[in-house]
Amino acid sequence: MHILLGQTLTFVADPFRVPVTEAVQHERRGGVALEAGRILAVGPADEIRAAYPAATVTDHGSALISPGFVDAHAHYPQTAIIASWGKRLIDWLNTYTFPEEARFGDPAHAAEIAALYFELTLAHGTTTAVSYATIHPESVDAFFSEARRRGLRALAGKTCMDTNAPDILADTAQSAYDDSKRLLERWHGVDRLSYVITPRFAPTSTRDQLAALGALWGEHPEVLMQTHLSEQHEEIAWVAELFPEARDYVDVYDRFGLLRDGALMGHAIHLSPRERARLKEAGASLIHCPTSNTFIGSGLFDMDGLMKEGQRIGLATDTGGGSSFSMLRTMAAAYEVAQLRGTPLHPAQLWWLATAGSARALHLGARIGTLAPDYEADLAVIDLASSPAIAQRAARAETLWEAVFPTIMMGDDRAISAVYVGGTRV
């Protein structure tokens, strides 16, 4: 039994649906009791200490005890090419991404980058990530082996591409099906690991491959499926050329059994009314990747409109198309993108998106992303005065959110003062 003391923050409701004051429970001096990898109790510090007098106590002072961040879309193989200068999506993929991804058939390289990726994400307070691997099964094994060694909840899948990709990075419809199936059977449900069926995006899969992966998903409805959707106008025009029989980009996935509850659609920026209605009806999750969208010049995600429609939305870094491993920086970028659309987001909404909202988008909303009893004890402890610039602003704050917002806008890994994975400090 272990008790952590600090400020505690629990979302009891979705702050996009109810007023922030009703969505959040905050204790200025709170306690969180942990046992056997789970949260046992959350409440005022005095009550928690009195309830468990024999527990070990770690006092985090005035730091904020939050659920660990949940990154709903990332490419761990792109760790070493983050922040590479490029023009647009397709150019960026060909110049930087594909040459680097080609190296992941080497298990030693894959293992080295997987270890580096988790070092970096944990240092930024991210305790769960959903990653694309490369076409190589070795890259999936490396990711899951490293996540398992660290006791993490993690999700990933083999990226499938059998057309419009360099030969060295192409599989086939059959090998994509066979490799994905074997990896799913090897890793899904092992400890806290989940397999995700992963066609990269419509332009790099033939109809046969999309159909094969749709069939695999039909055979394994318990797993998630991730892909990219409507990131850039050039890409959308290309999809229309490649699949003239489809009504639109969403319809391409729909035709092959790749659109339903459990589909994670990365980006989802430029959508028609029909596509939005169909995504909502299907119960897909839309994953907003704001640092990537500005870095690659893709466009402004319609958070306000999509939330009002009742879409299920998660937040993600999209490293290395995204320019930061930090979900704090990602929240700041989501705020800036929403500002450019004239629809500001409240800091509570940003924090919810990076924790409970992303967990919900991954269908893990009952396990991670919330500071409440029975949830898995994956936590990030946030120093709300981690640099002189932040500290002087936070010192003037009169409310919790006024104290948190400077860290959202200006914070980085220095703001992460402790991380717990399955109740153990890492």
For the CB of residue 43, give the shortest distance to Zn ion in the complex, in Å.
39
**Sign of the Cα pseudo-torsion (414, 417, 423, 426, in order):** positive
For the CB of residue 289, give the shortest distance to Zn ion in the complex, in Å.
7
For the CB of residue 74, give the shortest distance to Zn ion in the complex, in Å.
7
For the CB of residue 318, give the shortest distance to Zn ion in the complex, in Å.
5
Q: Which is nearer to Zn ion, 337 or 390 (CB)?
A: 337
Number of other residues whose CB lies within 10 A of the CB of residue 83 = 10
For the CB of residue 213, give the shortest distance to Zn ion in the complex, in Å.
17
Site for Zn ion in 9-68 (CB under 5 A): none
Give bridge partners of residue 7 from the DSSP assignment. Answer: 64
Strands 56-67 and 38-44: unpaired
Q: Is the peptide bond before 30 cis (omega within 30 degrees of 0)?
A: no
For the CB of residue 32, give the shortest distance to Zn ion in the complex, in Å.
33
CB-nearest residue to Zn ion: 318
From the list 94-102, 201-209, 261-269, 389-397, the region that binds Zn ion by CB under 5 A is: 261-269
Q: Which is nearer to Zn ion, 198 or 386 (CB)?
A: 198
Contacts of 118 (CB under 8 A, 6+ apart): 146, 147, 150, 152
The residue whose two tokens read 């059959």 is: 174
Give residue 370's Cα distance to chain centre. Answer: 15
**Sign of the Cα pseudo-torsion (74, 77, 81, 87, in order):** negative
> What is the distance between the alpha carbons of residues 230 and 425, in angstroms, rounded to a whole number?
39
Number of other residues whose CB lies within 10 A of the CB of residue 424 = 13
Question: Of 128, 153, 24, nearest to 69 (Cα)?
Answer: 128
Q: Which is nearer to Zn ion, 184 or 296 (CB)?
A: 296
Q: Which is nearer to Zn ion, 203 or 266 (CB)?
A: 266
Q: Which is nearer to Zn ion, 5 or 114 (CB)?
A: 114
From the list 63-71, 144-152, 265-273, 349-357, the region that binds Zn ion by CB under 5 A is: 265-273
Q: At CA 145, angle to CA 144 and CA 148, rounded to 5?
A: 80
Site for Zn ion in 294-323 (CB under 5 A): 318
Q: Which is nearer to Zn ion, 78 or 355 (CB)?
A: 78
> What Rg, from alpha-carbon coordinates, does the chain have?
21
From the list 77-85, 94-102, 105-113, 263-271, the region that binds Zn ion by CB under 5 A is: 263-271
Task: Say how many residues touch Zn ion, by CB under 5 A.
Answer: 2
Q: Which is nearer to Zn ion, 157 or 266 (CB)?
A: 266
Q: Which is nearer to Zn ion, 31 or 266 (CB)?
A: 266
Contacts of 2 (CB under 8 A, 6+ apart): 33, 34, 35, 55, 56, 57, 58, 423
For the CB of residue 44, give the shortest distance to Zn ion in the complex, in Å.
42
Q: Which is nearer to Zn ion, 298 or 370 (CB)?
A: 298
From the list 55-63, 114-122, 208-216, 266-274, the region that binds Zn ion by CB under 5 A is: 266-274
Helix (H, G, I), strand (E, B) or coil at 387: coil
What are the CB-based long-range contacts (under 8 Å, 24+) for 240-246?
242/202, 242/203, 243/202, 243/207
Q: Which is nearer to Zn ion, 171 or 318 (CB)?
A: 318
162 binds Zn ion (CB under 5 A): no
For the CB of residue 131, give the shortest distance to Zn ion in the complex, in Å.
10
Phi-psi region of 219 (alpha: psi -120 to 50; beta: other; left: phi over 0): alpha
From the list 102-110, 155-163, 259-267, 393-401, the region that binds Zn ion by CB under 5 A is: 259-267
From the list 53-61, 264-272, 345-353, 357-365, the region that binds Zn ion by CB under 5 A is: 264-272
For the CB of residue 199, give the shortest distance to Zn ion in the complex, in Å.
12
Residues making contact with Zn ion (CB under 5 A)? 266, 318
